[in-house]
Chain A
Amino acid sequence: MKPLRMALTKGRLEKDTVGLLEAAGYDCTAVHEKGRKLILPIGSGEIEVVLAKAADVITYVEHGVCDLGVVGKDTIMENGTSFFEILDLGFGKCRFALASKGGRTASEFFSGHSEKTIATKYPNVARNFFEGKGMDIRIIKIEGSVELAPLLGLADAIVDIVETGSTLRENGLVIVEDNIAPISARLIANIASLKLRKNEIEALAQKMEEERRRSS
């Protein structure tokens, strides 16, 4: 039997997922001692872990070269199309928020006739949010520290992921809308894989869910 292949988002989500899998009884030595390897067997070889960047996790799962993936809801909202989202893993929690330079209340921000410019790493999320408000906005995609854009005068506000809000505060930005969407890590599955390997995938998802419940 081919191992189930699971793509993990490199970094913190990878560590949290590995922690969860270990607590659920899977041997993850290969991931701890990975070196430069990108495909790693875990458990007794029934699962193979692949390490990838967040958006690539979705790409690999969509195409079915990975059966499962662990990725943040932020990436799903920005890039997601067709796959099954089967479990909220409960870690990697943060939220999408709208923040601008101080001195304006939310109602002041959303009123007025001049077009607003929004800097963000998440153009689709930003567009959907403002579409819901009936606002036409100009979006500028920024790759690095988005907070810089309003400070430099390029944008009126930013849409970004916020955990504690301390980076925003330190740079004099104020949250206008706090909870555009809550974010946490999700277990996703390829459409065909879930049908073809239902029992294996459901058993694994169930173990992960039980462990998540137990630890929270």
Chain B
Amino acid sequence: MKNYSKITPEGTKDFLFEECLSTRTVSHILSEVFTKRGFHEVLTPGIEFYDVFSNPAAAIPQENMFKLSDLKGRLMVLRPDSTLPIARMAATRLQNEVLPIRLYYNQRVYRSNRGLTGKSNEVMQTGIELLGASGKRADIEIITTAIEALAKCVPDFRIELGHAAFFKSLVKKLPVTENQREDIRGFIESKNYSALNTLLDSLEQTTAVAAIRRLPRLFGGEEVLEEAYGLFDDEDVLRPLEYLKEIYHSLTTFGLGERLMIDLGLVQRNDYYSDIVFSGYVEGSGEPVLIGGRYDRLLDIFGSPMAASGFGINADALAKVMLSRGQIALKRSPDVLVHGDDSFEVKSIKHCESLTQSGLVCENSVCSARETAIEYARKKGIARVDFVSENIETVILD
């Protein structure tokens, strides 16, 4: 039998030194942003029942989940997403909390992607959930938190705003089957204009059809909103449009300029989004690094209706960008090597401690003699060696 003891499974990896530091740095920066805004960290189990994610609104295809079974033969999955477990937790364990509840998480999620494509099956996801609050104040809070989070990591990000209601109310007016509806959603999501048009050509040409046809192209700056007003005449669509405009204008005071965009064709893969939606992009990452929005119906799944919004950040993707831009500097060699002569081992450790208190990074020498300690220090590029015996002698290596 072939032995796989020396390799990691596809889509996973060991994080060594700089890589480890970069992902920890991103988590640390983001945690600080969230903590300062009054969010509290939670952890959910790495293994959950399949049922938590099997709701159609979750839209996580079952082939993308890693499955296992418990002792009773019940189907379990490795956590593929953090929002659903948090919704489950809030609906059951946080029922009597004072609202709103502000939570953040910082945990790995597991997705089984198609093989040999270079995609990670294990991703560090960091994000927030604001539960039990709706309306403009809550939406502004969530979006500006997202902006601050990205700005603290990479300054040249872009944030794109949309609204789930455009697609939802427009598609309701189309004489299409459930499957066709799903196809249309996919075509808009992938901006697949040609396939979308082919499908729409087969329908009766109404205003809704014309609006849907235009939807994937409606992204850019404020001009998009103006164009949209000409396309929609329906109250269901005009209200979200008006709202989006309001949010967009409030956010322009942040001075993001062109980095704040509008995409009326932004439809997230998860069908649970109900109102405002947004995504974040960064140069150097081919996929959105941040996905979020409002999902007021999500907690219904768990029998405890509550307004909810939030976003998730792919911390590994941000870490990779920061590392490649040289924003993460790891110093591998310590400032001082402290070598205690025979029977001064404890004194040597104490000397280390006193040096570290002054802010230096100290390594305790485990070499058997002074000469080997010097040799080791040269190899590791340590500039200073302190010898500890009755006295302390400092040697500076060139």
> Which residues on A are within 8 Å of B, measured CB to CB?
59, 62-65, 81-88, 186, 189-196, 198
Q: What 0/1 readout, one digit per residue, does chain B (199-233) give for beta carbons within 8 Å of chain A?
A: 00000000000000000000110000000000000
Closest chain A CB from B355 CB (angstroms): 46
Contact of B261 among A63, A186, A189, A195 (CB under 8 A): A195
- C-alpha spacing A84/B261, complex, angstroms: 17
How many inter-chain residue pairs (CB < 8 Å) link A and B?
Answer: 58
Question: Size band of the B side of the interface?
Answer: 20 to 34
> Which residues on B are within 8 Å of A, measured CB to CB?
114, 117-118, 158, 160, 190-195, 219-220, 261, 263, 279, 281-288
Q: Given A59-B117, A64-B287, does the pair A195, B193 have CB atoms closer than 8 Å? A: no
Closest chain B CB from A206 CB (angstroms): 11
> Do A83 and B117 have beta carbons less than 8 Å apart?
no
- Most A CB atoms within 10 A — which of B117, B194, B288? B194
Chain A residues with CB below 8 A from B283, complex form: 192, 196
> Do A192 and B193 have beta carbons less than 8 Å apart?
no
Chain B residues with CB below 8 A from A195, complex form: 158, 160, 219, 261, 263, 279, 281
> Do B160 and A85 have beta carbons less than 8 Å apart?
no
> Do A81 and B114 have beta carbons less than 8 Å apart?
yes
Chain A residues with CB below 8 A from B114, complex form: 81
- C-alpha spacing A133/B263, complex, angstroms: 36
- C-alpha spacing A62/B195, complex, angstroms: 19
> Do B194 and A190 have beta carbons less than 8 Å apart?
no
- Closest residue of chain A to B116 (Cβ to Cβ) is A59
Contact of B288 among A83, A85, A191 (CB under 8 A): A191
Contact of B193 among A62, A65, A85, A194 (CB under 8 A): A85
> Do A84 and B190 have beta carbons less than 8 Å apart?
yes
A-B contact pairs, 19 of them (CB 8 A): A63-B118, A63-B286, A64-B284, A64-B285, A64-B286, A82-B287, A83-B190, A84-B191, A85-B195, A87-B193, A191-B286, A191-B287, A192-B282, A192-B285, A195-B219, A195-B263, A195-B279, A195-B281, A198-B219
- Closest residue of chain B to A189 (Cβ to Cβ) is B191
- C-alpha spacing A189/B118, complex, angstroms: 19
Chain A residues with CB below 8 A from B263, complex form: 195
Chain B residues with CB below 8 A from A59, complex form: 117
List 11 additional contacts besides A88-B194, A192-B287; criterion CB under 8 Å.
Answer: A59-B117, A62-B117, A64-B287, A84-B190, A85-B192, A88-B193, A189-B191, A191-B287, A192-B288, A196-B283, A198-B219
> Do B286 and A65 have beta carbons less than 8 Å apart?
yes
> Do A194 and B191 have beta carbons less than 8 Å apart?
yes
Chain B residues with CB below 8 A from A186, complex form: 194
Contact of B286 among A87, A88, A190, A198 (CB under 8 A): A190
Chain A residues with CB below 8 A from B193, complex form: 85-88
- C-alpha spacing A59/B281, complex, angstroms: 19
